[in-house]
Structure formats: C-alpha cells, structure tokens
Amino acid sequence: MLIAAKGIYENGQIFWEDAPPVKGRKKVVVTFLDEDVINSETTKKARRGGSMKGEVWMADDFNAPLDDLADYM
C-alpha cells in the first residue's frame, strides 16, 4: 500500500505537515518538488463555469439499448 504525506525537507530533516499514518519501520521514497511547482499550487487561476457551452452535445438516443447487446438483455 502506498501512502502520501507532505512535508518540507531542510538541512537533512523532513518536517511533516501532518504525521504520516504509519507505525514501525518503513521504506520510503522521497520526491523533491521544484519551487515553481510548490508556488503554482497556490496561484492557480479560478475556472469559469460554462466556457464550453454549445461545444459539447449528446445524442438523443444515448441511453437507448445497443443492438449489439440485444442477445444479452
């Protein structure tokens, strides 16, 4: 099972935002993120709803049974 936990690495130590929910000795893999990635998480632009209006359509018979599956129904 994989568990993700956030923290800050500084001077050879990891300072956890929240304590990881594990007990005992465990193997770990540490991934270092660039400052650009960390800063972009907090500066994402808000999405505007309805920007694709009129661009997406669905067939009128979307929920109709498929002829290929008639033998199974």
pTM equals 0.41
Residue 8 phi/psi, 5-degree rounding, is: -120, 130
C-alpha distances (whole Å) from 3 to each of 12, 22, 27 are 21, 9, 11
Q: What is the pLDDT of residue 60?
A: 92
Q: Are 66 and 72 in contact (CB under 8 A)?
A: no
Spell out the per-residue pLDDT of the chain, length 73, in tens: 788 888 888 899 989 998 888 888 988 888 888 776 656 556 667 778 888 888 988 999 999 888 888 888 7
Q: What is the pLDDT of residue 37?
A: 61
